[in-house]
A and B are shown apart, each in its own frame.
Chain A
Amino acid sequence: MPVPEVKFDALAARIAGLEFARSGWLGAARVDALARLGAMGLPTKRDEYWRYTDPADLIAAQAPRAASFDAEDEPPVFDGIDRLRIVFVDGVFDPALSDDLSLAGVEIEHLSQAGQTDIHWAREVYGVLETRGQTPVQRPLAALNTAFASDGVLIRATGRAARPVALIYLHRSETSDVILHHCVKIESGAELTLLESGPAAARFTKVMEVDVAAGGRFHHIRAQGRDHERRAATHLFARLGPESLLKSFTLTANGVLTRNDVVIELLGDDGVAHIAGAAVGDGTFHHDDTVFITHAGLRCESRQVFKKVLKNGAVGVFQGKILVKPGAQKTDGYQISQSLLLDGDSQFLAKPELEIYADDVKCSHGSTSGAIDEVALFYLRSRGVPDAAAKSLLVLAFLAETIAEIDDESIAADIRLRLQNWLERHEH
C-alpha cells in the first residue's frame, strides 16, 4: 500500500534541522533507522494506533513552546533514595550535576562516545529491539529517535547493582526539543533498578531498549515530571530471556501530551514482565499508554496495570495488547485498564486486545471507567474523615494496584507521596 505523500512532507520538515552522524557502528544503525523511517513516514491521526491521540505536536517541525516549571512546594522525586545520578539539562549531559559514573556491578557510558568505538555490546541492542518492535505495529517516532538521537546512556549490569541508577531530566528552555536514546543490558543473573524523573524538554522523544538475559532482573520506575506544558513521546522496547524479570512503573502527573509506548517480548521460558502506569490529569492533559506484549516462551507471566484519574476535561487513552504466539503454552497474561473520572467532562478511551495462538493459556483483560464510589465516600465521612481527605484516600486506593508493582518500598512510598501531594493541590 502506498504511503500517503503527506507523511513524507511532514517527515522532511521534521528532520530538516536535525544533525545526522554517520560514523562508526552507531552511524550504520542510524542509516538503517532512517531507511525504516523513510519507508513508514511520520504518524498521522489516520493510523490505527494514533486514532485517539493526535500526533501533530509530536511530529511538528518545531516543538511547541513549553514553560519550564519549578516545583518549590516539594523536594524532587527520588531525592531521598540513595542512587547514582546522571543529569541531563534539556537533553545535554551535565557532568557537574551528575555523580561519578562508576558503580559496582554496572558499566555506564555515553552513547555519543561509545558510538565511535569499533566493538561494543550496544551494537546488538541499539536500534535492534526498536526494529523488532516495528512489527506488526509501526512506530515511526522510535525509528526517528534511533536515527537522530543526540545522546543517551548505555548501561550494562554485570552483577547486582550496588544502588539504583537515576536518569534525571531537567527542563530549562521553553523551546528545547530533545531526542535521547538509552540502551540497557542486564547480563545473566544481574539486577538493576533504573529510575527516571523529570520532563527533559519542551518536547521529549525518547527510546529505551532493554535486553534482559537469562535470570536477569530489571526494575524501572519513572516519574515524568510536573511541567504543565511539556510534550513527550517515549518508547520502552524490551526483550526478555529465560527466567528473567522486568518491572516497569510510570507516574504521569501533568503534561499536556504524553504518549508512552511499551513493547515487550517474552522470548525465553518462565519470564515475567509487569508494566504499570498511574496517570493523574487535571484540565489540558492527554495521556496515552500503548502497550504490546508478545509471549513467545513457555510459562511466561505478563501484567499490564494502568489506571488514570481524570478531571476538568483531561483525556486518557489505553491501547494494550497481549499476543500469545503458537507454542507459548501456559502463558499467564493479565491486563487491566481503569479510569476514575472525577467529573463529567473527562474522557477515557480504551482498546484492549488479545490475540492468542496457543490453546493452553490463561489470559484476562478488563477495562472500566467510573466515578468515585459514593457509598464508600459516605462510609469514610461517617467515620469523621473530611470529604476531601476521604476522596484522596479513595483515589489512592484506586491507584494502589499500580504502585503495588514497585518492589522497593521506599520508592513506592515516594510515589505515593507525590500522588498525595498532587491530590491536595488539585482538591476536588
Chain B
Amino acid sequence: MLEISDLHVKLEAEDKPILKGVNLTVRAGTVHAIMGPNGSGKSTLSYVLAGRDGYEVTGGTAMLAGQDLLAMEPEERASAGLFLAFQYPVEIPGVGNMTFLRTAVNAQRKARGEADLSAGDFLKLVREKARTLKIDADMLKRPVNVGFSGGEKKRNEILQMAMLEPKMCILDETDSGLDVDAMKLVSDGVNALRDAGRAFLVITHYQRLLDHIHPDVVHIMADGRIVKTGGPELALEVEKNGYADILAEAV
C-alpha cells in the first residue's frame, strides 16, 4: 500500500536535514506503529506524505498503491486514498462542520469520477458514523473544530476518516490530549475501519494507544531514520525501558 524508500527531507527555509533516509513498507490490511523520541522526525514524515508546504524532498520516493505521492497535490493524495489525522486539528471559523464534510466527500468522489452523494444519503451516513463516535448534532453544526475540546477534535478527525474511507490512514499522535474514555472512543472508531483493504500508520509517543489499536509492526524512529523494527513487543519494551537502550543498541 505505502512504500517509502530512502526518503530524505529538509525544511525549505533551512539546510538542516530532518529525514535522513526513511525506508518503510506498509501492506494493505496491516497496522504499523511508529514510535520515537521528540524531534525524531515522526510528524515531519506524516506532513511530507500528506503534502504540506515548507518541506523539501531531497531524495528518495514515496508511493501509494503504485502512485508517486510526492508528485501529487495534497488534494490528489487525498483522492488517491491517503488520510492524515492531524495532531493539532485546525479550527476553521465560518465553515460549518457538515459543509466541510460534505465538500470533502463530494470533492473526492468527483476526483474519482463518481456522482455527488445526495443530501439525504450524506445526512444519513454522517449521522450513523457520528453516533458511533458520540458526536452530537450540535458538533456537526458548529464551525469546524471551533470551540471543540481536545477529545472532540480528535473524534472529529476520526469521523472525517470514517466518511472519506481512505486506503491509507496516518494517525499523527491521535492519542495526545485524550483522556481514557476518549482514547477508547477514538480507538474503537479506528478499529471499526480496519479491514483487509486498508492500512494504518499510527504515530505515537506512548504504548497506551497501542493497547487499544493493536499494531502488526512497530518501528522506532530516531534522528530521521527508522532504527529498529519489530512486533508489538517492541512497543512494550519502549514503555518499560524508554528509548535510551534501543537507541544505544541501534548506534
A residues sitting closer than 8 Å to B (CB atoms) are 373-376, 378-387, 389-390, 393-394, 396-401
* With A397-B92, A397-B95: A384-B86 Cβ-Cβ less than 8 Å: no
The stretch among B25-33, B103-111, B130-138 that forms the contact with chain A is B103-111
* With A378-B52, A393-B95, A398-B94: A385-B84 Cβ-Cβ less than 8 Å: no
Contact of B216 with A by CB under 8 A: no
Chain A residues whose C-beta falls within 8 Å of the C-beta of B94 in the assembled complex: 394, 396-401
Contact of B147 with A by CB under 8 A: no
The answer to whether B90 and A386 have CB atoms under 8 Å apart is no
5 contacts between A and B (CB under 8 A): A376-B90, A382-B83, A385-B104, A394-B94, A394-B95
Q: In the complex, which of the residues A385, A394, A397 contacts B75, with contact meaning CB atoms closer than 8 Å?
A: A385
**Smallest Cβ distance from B122 to chain A, in angstroms?**
15
A383 to B111, CA, bound (A): 12
**Smallest Cβ distance from B98 to chain A, in angstroms?**
13
A380 to B75, CA, bound (A): 8
**Smallest Cβ distance from A368 to chain B, in angstroms?**
13
The answer to whether A381 and B92 have CB atoms under 8 Å apart is no
Contact of B62 with A by CB under 8 A: no
Contact of B224 with A by CB under 8 A: no
Q: In the complex, which of the residues A382, A400, A401 contacts B50, with contact meaning CB atoms closer than 8 Å?
A: A382
Closest to B101 in A: A383
**Smallest Cβ distance from A424 to chain B, in angstroms?**
14
Chain A residues whose C-beta falls within 8 Å of the C-beta of B95 in the assembled complex: 393-394, 396-397
Contact string against A for B residues 90-130, beta-carbon threshold 8 Å, 1 for contact and 0 otherwise: 11111100011001100110010000000000000000000
The answer to whether B164 and A384 have CB atoms under 8 Å apart is yes
Closest to B81 in A: A384
The answer to whether A382 and B53 have CB atoms under 8 Å apart is no
**Smallest Cβ distance from B158 to chain A, in angstroms?**
13
Contact string against A for B residues 66-94, beta-carbon threshold 8 Å, 1 for contact and 0 otherwise: 00000001110111000110100111111
Closest to A401 in B: B94
Chain B residues whose C-beta falls within 8 Å of the C-beta of A373 in the assembled complex: 92
* With A382-B78, A394-B92: A389-B50 Cβ-Cβ less than 8 Å: no
Q: In the complex, which of the residues A382, A389, A397 contacts B51, with contact meaning CB atoms closer than 8 Å?
A: A382
Chain A residues whose C-beta falls within 8 Å of the C-beta of B100 in the assembled complex: 380, 383, 393
The answer to whether A386 and B75 have CB atoms under 8 Å apart is yes
The answer to whether A382 and B84 have CB atoms under 8 Å apart is yes
The answer to whether B78 and A383 have CB atoms under 8 Å apart is yes
Chain B residues whose C-beta falls within 8 Å of the C-beta of A399 in the assembled complex: 94
Contact of B204 with A by CB under 8 A: no
Closest to A393 in B: B95
Contact of B187 with A by CB under 8 A: no
Chain B residues whose C-beta falls within 8 Å of the C-beta of A382 in the assembled complex: 50-52, 74-75, 77-78, 83-84
Q: In the complex, which of the residues A376, A384, A401 contacts B78, with contact meaning CB atoms closer than 8 Å?
A: A384
The answer to whether B92 and A376 have CB atoms under 8 Å apart is yes
